[in-house]
Amino acid sequence: GLLLTALHQAGLATLTHTPSPMRWINHVLKRPPHERPFVVIPVGHPADGAEVPDITRKALDDVLVEL
């Protein structure tokens, strides 16, 4: 969360991506087999006119189920 927030505050666009399977990344980056990637974070400058949707969290009462 902190890395993504810092990048967004710096004016960069990011997203998290967890493709499956991810072993191909080891081959592309020439990394040893004991290293296992678990997330890809592309970072770049947003296109002109790009907008981030205004997403709000649901209220706890909307998602909490008590048993």
Q: What is the pLDDT of residues 24-46, one digit of tens each?
A: 888 999 999 899 888 889 999 99
In angstroms, the Cα distances linking 61 to 39, 54, 57, 65, 66 are 31, 21, 11, 8, 10
Q: What is the pLDDT of residue 20?
A: 82
Percent of the chain predicted with pLDDT > 70: 100
Task: Indicate the pLDDT class of residue 23, thresholds 50, 70 and 90.
Answer: confident
